[in-house]
Amino acid sequence: MTDIFEFKTRVMPVVVLEDAESAVPMAEALLEGGIDAVEITLRHRCALDAIARVSARVAGMCVGAGTVTRAEDFGRVAEAGARFALSPGLTPALAQAARAAAIPFIPGVMTPSEIAAAREHGYLLLKLFPAAQAGGVEMLKALASPFADVRFCPTGGVSAKNLKDYLRQPNVALVGGSWLTPADALKSRDWSRIVTLAREASAIAGG
C-alpha cells in the first residue's frame, strides 16, 4: 500500500448500507476477520451517518467514502470522518475538491486515456472500475508496461473465486468487492457470516 493510506488490508469491502445502526457491528465483524479498511458508499442517505459512527466508535478500522461523484461530496465525507475517498471516475472538479479537502483519494478509471489523465493530476493509485467489464486480469497485464508507475484497486466483478488471480498481479495494490458484506447478511445482521467471509479473504490475501 502507499503510505498515505492508513490501512494494511489488500481486500476492501465495498458496502451499501441502508441502516446506519448496522455500521458499527459490520465494521467490527470485518476487523475481527482481519480487514482494517472499509468503503461505505454514498448510495444511501444514511451513508454519512454510518461513516461518522464507524469513525468515532471502531478503533482500528479505517473508514472511507465510496461513490464520491460530486465535488461537494468531499467536504461532507471529510466532516463525517472519512479518512479516504473513492470515485468511479475523475473530473478536474473532483481532483480540485480532493486537494482542497486534503483527503486521500482513489479515482476511478477504465481506459488508458483515463489513466493518463489521472496520472497528470498526480494520482498513481487508481480504481479500475468496473474491472470485469474493463477486461479484468488481462487488462491489468496489458496496462502494466505502459503505466509501470501506476497501481490499481480493481473493483467490480471481483470475488473470492478470482481474488487470488487479481492479487497476483504486480500492479494491483488491493481489490474492492461487495461479496464480503452481502446484502442479506447485512439485513439479517449476520455478523458471524461477515467475520467468516473476511477471514477467508484475509487468508487468500495473506497467502
Which residues are known to be catalytic? 39, 127
Residues 6+ apart with CB under 8 A from 89: 69, 107, 108, 109, 114
Backbone angles phi, psi at 64, to 5 degrees: -120, 165
Count CB atoms within 10 A of the CB of residue 50.
27
> CB burial class (10 A; 0-12, 13-18, 19+) of residue 170?
exposed
Nearest to 174 by CA among 98, 76, 42, 62: 62
Single-letter amino acid, residue 157: G
Residue 48 near residue 24 (C-beta atoms within 8 A) = no
Closest by CA to 115, choosing from 144, 137, 157, 155, is 144
Q: Are 181 and 191 in contact (CB under 8 A)?
A: no
With a CB cutoff of 8 Å and minimum separation 6, the contacts of 176 are: 12, 13, 14, 39, 66, 86, 127, 153, 154, 155, 156, 158
User: Cα dihedral angle (111, 116, 117, 120), rounded to 10 degrees?
Assistant: 160
